[in-house]
């Protein structure tokens, strides 16, 4: 589902709706944030999270021109899953800048080692950073944009209640988690 201008509120209307909508989105995002250990998180996007992002950009930049709104829609619509995939922002997060610099120097290529797994099936690795190359062999970027493509059998199994796991298999960071029911339900809702 792509968003269009008719899905958005005017700046004035958004100003009135913002407190309630912001709380709705915060609650919605809670089940869509998957911590892969203490320093890595997958933030799964959907139409609601992208609507919020666009509305916030329009608000902050005071954008009301139709062509500029279309530019924002063109930038953010590709981050909405299309029914057979998940789209996520992967962030490597350290509170201390020096600790982050040292960690990123060891995590080159980490985006290639992320995975999702349905029951005990094969791990599905993401298509990473389709916009630009964000990582080098010797250093990782702190933010990556990912697309996990699922096959029809995986989608069917997930809709039937299959276990969903996610993780990282990088030599400098290995993590694995099984999603709880609320997280799994939130992500399965993206699949058609």
Find, among 62, 69, 76, 86, the residue nearest to 149 by Cα. 86
* DSSP code of residue 132: S
Rg from Cα positions in the chain: 18
Task: Please give, one letter per residue, the 3-state secondary structure of 45-73.
Answer: CCHHHHHHHHHHHHHHHCCCCHHHHHHHH
Do the Cβ atoms of 58 and 64 come closer than 8 Å?
yes
pTM above the 0.85 mark?
yes
Query: At CA 150, angle to CA 53 and CA 185, rounded to 5?
Result: 60
Tens of pLDDT, residue by residue over 118-154, are 999 999 999 998 765 545 556 788 999 999 999 999 9
pLDDT at 1: 80
Tens of pLDDT, residue by residue over 53-98, are 999 999 999 999 999 999 999 999 999 999 999 999 999 999 999 9
d(CA 24, CA 31): 12
Continuous segment of H or E residues that includes residue 74:
helix 66-76
Strand, helix or coil for residue 82: coil
- pLDDT of 28 higher than 90: yes
| Mean pLDDT for the chain overall | 93
Do the Cβ atoms of 149 and 124 come closer than 8 Å?
yes
d(CA 184, CA 86): 12
Find, among 186, 167, 191, the residue nearest to 31 by Cα. 186
- Burial string for 50-89 (b: 16+ CB within 10 Å, else e) reads bbbbbbebbeeeebeeeeebeebbeebbebbbeeebbbbb
* DSSP code of residue 124: B
């Amino acid at each position: 589902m792509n968003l269009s201008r008719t899905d958005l509120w005017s700046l004035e209307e958004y100003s009135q709706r913002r407190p309630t909508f912001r709380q709705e989105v915060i609650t919605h995002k809670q089940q869509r944030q998957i911590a892969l250990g203490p320093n890595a998180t997958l933030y799964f996007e959907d139409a609601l999270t992208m609507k919020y992002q666009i509305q916030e950009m329009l608000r902050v930049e005071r954008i009301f021109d139709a062509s500029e709104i279309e530019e924002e829609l063109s930038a953010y619509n590709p981050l909405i899953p299309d029914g057979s995939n998940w789209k996520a922002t992967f962030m490597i997060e350290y509170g201390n800048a020096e600790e982050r610099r040292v960690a990123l120097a060891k995590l080159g290529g980490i985006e290639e080692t992320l995975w999702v797994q349905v029951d005990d099936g094969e791990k599905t690795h993401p298509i990473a950073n389709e916009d630009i190359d964000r990582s080098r062999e010797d250093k990782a970027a702190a933010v990556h944009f990912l697309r996990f493509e699922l096959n029809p059998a995986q989608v069917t199994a997930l809709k039937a209640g299959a276990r969903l796991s996610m993780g990282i298999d990088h030599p400098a960071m290995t993590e694995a988690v099984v999603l709880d029911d609320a997280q799994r339900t939130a992500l399965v809702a993206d699949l058609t």
